[in-house]
């Protein structure tokens, strides 16, 4: 390492009761460097950046910013020192416009007209067009992220921290973002980029620090490694690939015809003219950026929201107005995206949570009376078959980690032997090993003759397990395309492209 | 510095211990209160908690215990089912009044005919009266999205005015020499709700309360319907995922708690009270809310909490009489009980760490 480093970290440690989140973590970032922080969920990435951003105070260790001691007591101090952060979850008010949202995050906001002008300037300079007068509720996830980025850029930061920035973007939007980040880097702003998407890191980052179990397990230059090598450094061993062989399609098990549904919330999308056919043995992938109707689609298919007559047909039988339990009896099961509070009751035990969906297809009750012994047995069966790490079935659902609870939720549905299974974001926030086992379970289910719909934002996941691919964009579902031979660019265009941004990219590319 | 740390799994130990700790803390704080009023605290606590059960004249007070606890338990058992589902019926007092009025109206319409069918008919009328009064906030919530808390509470005052109207009007005793109030049902054998076992105070309402406790226990802890009610209170979206239809749940919970409150009113008017007067209701419907929470919304807890609450009422009356404590001091004392219970309740879901806390 040569010259003065922008940020130097040494021996950083942070322990929470029962877990050491970071232990003796050290690395350095040069001005203008794009530095990746790579690791699985729970590897300690979030804790580390929270310490840099002043949200969490380290137990031990030192940080130096531009040679001077750096101990931010709170995010305001970090911002004053030139450190800005774009969070994975946006903190924006949907009912306010872009400029108002930006002003809310500032210490001394200038008059609205000046601010709007500054926003336009910055957005043009960095290729992130954004109209300051638009209401945030009407913006796409990618556009909302631009609001957050511009909010940071107004502070003229020396170091910009980005936490999983691409999880909500279409491939084209990712390109635009990378374009902006490279420009910032060329101007001398360092970027600390957190992700577990290996190809992105290889494309964007100059150097990488890999975390595992709260410790630094290696530094590398991502371009010199293959994605597989990076993954193995991250996971600490080889990991299994899924096996999708040996399936043939049977009769249609779920047919959706001209399904329309009004929005469920004020800024939520409506579903418009959805058509799809799912055959036995088929895995249908539905891709799209969250907020384009995924939740709404799951709610209508699962039976939580009834739809008009003759819009949902399960195994040849009309089911549009049937509730979730009647559909379960017909063989259609589902697993919603939100694990706590929707797919499981946080304060209830794993045993009790089997009763949420399991009483129709499993003998967990007799004439309405609960058989607690049978429920406990089913919970134990799920824990065993899906390798759920927990002291036992008596533990409350909220005490499980996200990945373990997801394995439980998927396991609960898969073990009920559905004919149709619909899952939304089955591996969101789940570590690589658990994600692979969940995907394999879905494939195994399909090879036994069930039809499976996987709704996901993770395109790599859909490419890996789906036979056919549809894009959900602004409540409309595209016709299915076989995943074999489908390129990432084609998918990106199916997902709504870059929200009117393609011209800019083309211009930049031309110049 | 004191920090609260959320427990991953609620503590079973504290769930069962907090009511006891709350009672002890109430005794200590109440004792201090009585001491500042110039009374001997030990004596005052003894008068409230000990004398009604084991002191002189205890036989009379013990029967009063069941008379007072019966309606509290009966109403609270119904309220707790709704509270578990996150449906807040605050108007049990009104449903209690309407049950009494409807039941008494059936009896007074039949007067003076004697029939073994009369009392059962009154019971049904009482339940229906409370049920329909509870249905009003339910339907308004389902169709117009109104708050059941406000509507059920305001309907208490409507019910009180209706009570005054019938006491002075349609149900007034024609042989009552102009005094307000209905005929006394205690003097009408077919309509009377008598003491079942002499000296215990147990009338049909106490029997109904016990049945309600057992029924509520089976519903909430053994039956899938009760499970879904609990899910609805914990996680409404998960409940819909489990097949709960919110409208049906609202009608069921408000209807059930209304019917039980109506029954309590009927048993009271045909038994201990005997007649419809404009001041017939004594606040059982409101106190039952305290009983439901004191009993942790658990049927067996409610049984114990109802008895404890009745004890503080009787003991409180005695303390006023014998020690000259002001009525307000007794009410503060009863309020403390709920305050401490809700306060210590925190320990079930959180643990406290003192000092050494780091951000």
Cβ contact A342–B235 (<8 Å): yes
CA B222 to each of CA A321, B219, B251, B300: distance values in angstroms, whole numbers, following the listed order? 29, 6, 21, 14
The count of structural domains within chain B is: 2
CA gap A136, A143 in Å, rounded: 9
Q: Supply φ then ψ for residue B65, to 5 degrees.
A: -60, -50
Per-residue confidence (pLDDT) for residue A413, from 0 to 100: 96
Shared domain check, B157 and B234: yes
Shared domain check, B126 and B264: yes
Per-residue confidence (pLDDT) for residue A509, from 0 to 100: 45
User: Could you give the maximum distance between any two Cα atoms of chain B, in Å?
Assistant: 77
Look over chain B and give the mean of its residue pLDDT values, rounded to a whole number.
Answer: 90
* Strands in A280-394 per DSSP E: 283-287, 312-314, 317-318, 332-335, 365-366, 369-370
Q: Which domain covers residue B273, as residue numbers? A: 61-324
Cβ contact B224–A359 (<8 Å): yes
Shared domain check, B76 and B7: no
Shared domain check, B266 and B123: yes
Q: How many CA atoms lie within 13 A of A166 on its CB side?
A: 23
The 10s digit of each residue's pLDDT in B287-339 is 999 899 888 899 999 999 999 989 988 898 888 888 888 889 888 988 888 88
CA gap A80, A86 in Å, rounded: 16
Exposure class string for A125-137: b at 16+ Cβ within 10 A, else e:
ebbbbbebeeebb
Shared domain check, B197 and B300: yes
Residues in contact with A471: Cβ distance below 8 Å, sequence separation at least 6, in sequence order? A286, A287, A288, A477, A478, A491, A494, A495, A496
Distance from CA of B265 to the nearest CA of A (A): 31
Residues in contact with B57: Cβ distance below 8 Å, sequence separation at least 6, in sequence order? none
Tell me the two tokens of residue B18: 């907090």
Q: Is the pLDDT of residue B201 over 60?
A: yes
Per-residue confidence (pLDDT) for residue A239, from 0 to 100: 56
pLDDT, one tens digit for every residue, chain A (511 residues): 445 789 999 999 988 776 788 899 999 999 999 999 988 767 788 889 999 999 889 999 999 999 889 999 888 899 889 999 988 778 888 888 999 998 887 878 888 889 999 999 988 888 887 888 888 888 877 788 889 888 888 888 999 999 888 877 777 888 888 999 999 999 999 999 988 777 888 889 999 999 888 889 889 998 888 877 887 788 776 655 566 666 788 999 999 999 999 887 777 788 999 999 999 999 999 988 777 888 899 999 999 999 999 999 999 999 999 999 999 999 999 999 888 899 999 989 999 999 999 999 999 999 999 999 999 999 999 999 998 888 899 999 988 877 889 999 999 999 999 999 999 999 887 777 788 889 999 999 999 999 999 999 888 888 889 999 999 988 889 989 888 888 777 887 777 654 444 444 444 444 4
Is B218 part of a structural domain of the chain? yes
Shared domain check, B345 and B259: no
Is B290 part of a structural domain of the chain? yes
pLDDT, greater one: B128 or A95: B128
Q: Is the pLDDT of residue B354 over 70?
A: yes
Long-range contacts of A388-396 (CB under 8 A, 24+ apart): A388/A350, A390/A350, A392/A350, A393/A349, A393/A350, A393/A351, A394/A349, A394/A350, A394/A351, A395/A349, A395/A350, A395/B8, A395/B9, A396/A346, A396/A347, A396/A348, A396/A349, A396/B8, A396/B9, A396/B10
What domains sit in chain A, N to C, each tagged with a CATH number? 7-235 (3.40.50.300), 252-339+419-494 (3.40.50.300)
Exposure class string for B120-132: b at 16+ Cβ within 10 A, else e:
ebbbebbbbbbbb
Cβ contact B359–A348 (<8 Å): no
CATH of the domain at B306: 1.10.3470
Per-residue confidence (pLDDT) for residue A491, from 0 to 100: 80
Q: Which 8-state DSSP code applies to residue B40?
A: -
Shared domain check, B248 and B138: yes
Residues in contact with B324: Cβ distance below 8 Å, sequence separation at least 6, in sequence order? none
Shared domain check, B85 and B208: yes
Q: Chain B residues within 8 A (CB-CB) of chain A? A: 5, 8-10, 222-225, 227, 230-231, 234-235, 237-238, 240-243, 245, 358-359
Cβ contact B231–A348 (<8 Å): yes
Is B225 part of a structural domain of the chain? yes
Per-residue confidence (pLDDT) for residue A499, from 0 to 100: 47
Shared domain check, B319 and B187: yes
A interface mutation test: which of B15, B229, B241, B358 has the most A CBs within 10 A?
A: B241
Is B264 part of a structural domain of the chain? yes
CA B46 to each of CA A98, A223, B217, B322: distance values in angstroms, whole numbers, following the listed order? 67, 81, 33, 12
Is B50 part of a structural domain of the chain? no
Shared domain check, B329 and B317: no
Looking at this predicted complex, what is its ipTM? 0.82
Shared domain check, B117 and B203: yes
Is B294 part of a structural domain of the chain? yes
CA gap B151, B130 in Å, rounded: 15
CA gap A161, A150 in Å, rounded: 13
Is B55 part of a structural domain of the chain? no
B interface mutation test: which of A55, A73, A338, A356 has the most B CBs within 10 A?
A: A356
Cβ contact B241–A341 (<8 Å): no
Does A398 contact chain B (CB < 8 Å)? Answer: yes
Q: Which 8-state DSSP code applies to residue A53?
A: T
Closest C-alpha to B240, from A376, A346, A306, A309? A306
Torsion, CA B103, CA B108, CA B112, CA B114, rounded to 10: -10
Q: What confidence category does residue B359 fall into, taking pLDDT thresholds of 50, 70 and 90? A: very low
Is B285 part of a structural domain of the chain? yes
Nearest Cβ partner of A341 from B8, B222, B238? Answer: B238
3-state secondary structure at position B86: coil
Nearest Cβ partner of A356 from B9, B238, B358? Answer: B238
Cβ contact B224–A365 (<8 Å): yes
Shared domain check, B245 and B103: yes
CA A187 to each of CA A66, A181, B142: distance values in angstroms, whole numbers, following the listed order? 17, 10, 59
pLDDT, greater one: B9 or A355: A355
Residue in the structure block whose two tokens are 């945030």: A136
3-state secondary structure at position A2: coil
Spacing of C-alpha B188 from chain mean position: 27
pLDDT, greater one: B342 or A69: A69
């Amino acid at each position: 390492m040569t010259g003065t480093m922008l940020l130097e970290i040494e021996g950083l440690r942070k322990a929470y009761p029962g877990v050491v989140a970071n232990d003796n973590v050290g690395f350095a970032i040069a001005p203008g460097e794009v530095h990746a922080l790579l690791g699985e969920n729970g590897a300690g990435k979030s804790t580390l950046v929270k310490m840099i951003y002043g949200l969490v105070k380290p137990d031990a260790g030192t940080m130096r910013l531009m040679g001077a001691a750096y101990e931010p007591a709170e995010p305001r101090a970090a911002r004053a020192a030139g450190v800005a952060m774009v969070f994975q979850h946006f903190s924006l008010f949907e009912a306010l416009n872009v400029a108002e949202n930006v002003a809310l995050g500032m210490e001394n906001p200038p008059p609205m007209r000046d601010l709007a002008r500054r926003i336009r300037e910055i957005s043009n300079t960095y290729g992130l067009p954004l109209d300051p007068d638009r209401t945030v509720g009407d913006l796409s996830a990618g556009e909302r992220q631009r609001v957050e980025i511009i909010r940071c850029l107004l502070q003229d930061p020396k170091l910009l921290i980005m936490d999983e920035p691409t999880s909500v973007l279409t491939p084209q939007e990712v390109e635009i973002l990378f374009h902006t980040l490279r420009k910032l880097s060329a101007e001398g702003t360092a970027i600390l980029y957190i992700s577990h998407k290996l190809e992105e890191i290889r494309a964007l980052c100059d150097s990488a620090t890999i975390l595992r179990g709260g410790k630094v397990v290696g530094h590398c230059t991502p371009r010199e490694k293959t994605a597989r090598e990076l993954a193995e450094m991250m996971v600490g061993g080889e990991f299994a690939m899924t096996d999708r062989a040996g399936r043939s399609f049977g009769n249609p098990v779920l047919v959706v015809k001209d399904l329309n549904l009004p929005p469920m919330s004020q800024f939520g999308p409506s579903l418009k003219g959805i058509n799809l056919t799912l055959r036995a043995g088929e895995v249908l992938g539905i891709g799209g950026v969250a907020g384009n109707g995924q939740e709404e689609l799951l709610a209508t298919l699962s039976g939580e929201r009834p739809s008009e007559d003759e819009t949902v047909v399960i195994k040849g039988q009309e089911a549009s107005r049937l509730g979730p339990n009647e559909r379960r009896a017909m063989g259609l099961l589902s697993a919603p995206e939100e694990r706590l509070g929707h797919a499981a009751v946080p304060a209830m035990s794993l045993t009790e949570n089997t009763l949420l969906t399991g009483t129709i297809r499993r003998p967990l009750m007799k004439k309405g009376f609960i058989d607690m012994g049978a429920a406990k047995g089913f919970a134990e069966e799920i824990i065993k078959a899906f390798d759920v790490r927990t002291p036992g079935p008596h533990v409350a659902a909220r005490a499980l980690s996200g990945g373990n609870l997801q394995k439980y939720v998927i396991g609960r549905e898969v073990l009920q032997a559905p004919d149709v299974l619909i899952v939304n974001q089955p591996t969101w926030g789940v570590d690589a090993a658990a994600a692979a086992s969940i995907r394999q379970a879905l494939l195994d289910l399909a090879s036994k003759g069930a039809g499976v719909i996987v709704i996901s934002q993770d395109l790599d996941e859909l490419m890996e397990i789906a036979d056919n691919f549809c894009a959900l964009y602004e409540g409309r579902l595209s016709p299915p395309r076989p995943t074999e031979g489908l390129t990432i660019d084609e998918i990106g265009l199916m997902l709504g492209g870059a929200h009117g941004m393609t011209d800019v990219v083309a211009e930049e590319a031309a110049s | 510095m004191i920090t609260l740390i959320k427990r991953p799994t609620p503590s079973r130990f504290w769930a069962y211990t907090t009511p006891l700790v709350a009672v002890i803390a109430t005794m200590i704080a109440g004792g201090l209160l009585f001491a500042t009023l110039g009374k001997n605290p030990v004596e005052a606590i003894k008068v409230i908690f000990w004398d009604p059960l084991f002191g002189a004249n205890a036989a009379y007070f013990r029967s009063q215990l069941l008379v007072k606890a019966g309606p509290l338990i009966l109403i609270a058992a119904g309220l707790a089912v709704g509270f578990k589902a996150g449906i807040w019926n605050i108007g049990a007092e009104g449903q209690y009044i309407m049950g009494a009025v409807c039941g008494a109206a059936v009896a007074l319409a039949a007067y003076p005919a004697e029939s073994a069918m009369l009392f059962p008919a009154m019971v049904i009328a009482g339940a229906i009266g409370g049920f329909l009064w509870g249905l009003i906030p339910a339907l308004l919530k389902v169709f117009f999205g109104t708050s059941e808390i406000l509507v059920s509470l305001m309907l208490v005052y409507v019910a009180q005015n209706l009570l005054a109207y019938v006491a002075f009007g349609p149900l007034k005793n024609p042989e009552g020499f102009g005094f307000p109030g209905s005929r006394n049902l205690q003097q009408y054998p077919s309509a009377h709700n008598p003491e079942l076992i002499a000296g215990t105070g147990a009338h049909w309402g106490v029997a109904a309360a016990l049945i309600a406790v057992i029924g509520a226990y089976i519903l909430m802890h053994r039956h899938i319907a009760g499970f879904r009610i609990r899910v609805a209170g914990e996680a409404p979206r998960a409940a819909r995922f489990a097949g709960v239809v919110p409208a049906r749940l609202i009608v069921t919970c408000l209807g059930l708690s209304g019917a039980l409150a109506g029954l309590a009113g009927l048993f009271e008017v045909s038994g201990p009270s005997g007649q419809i007067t404009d001041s017939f209701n004594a606040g059982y419907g409101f106190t039952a809310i305290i009983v439901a929470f004191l009993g942790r919304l658990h049927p067996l807890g409610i049984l114990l909490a109802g008895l404890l609450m009745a004890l503080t009422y009787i003991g409180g009356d005695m303390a006023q009489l014998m020690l000259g404590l002001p009525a307000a001091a007794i009410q503060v004392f009863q309020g403390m009980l709920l305050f401490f219970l809700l306060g210590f309740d925190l320990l079930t879901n959180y643990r406290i760490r003192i000092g050494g806390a780091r951000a």
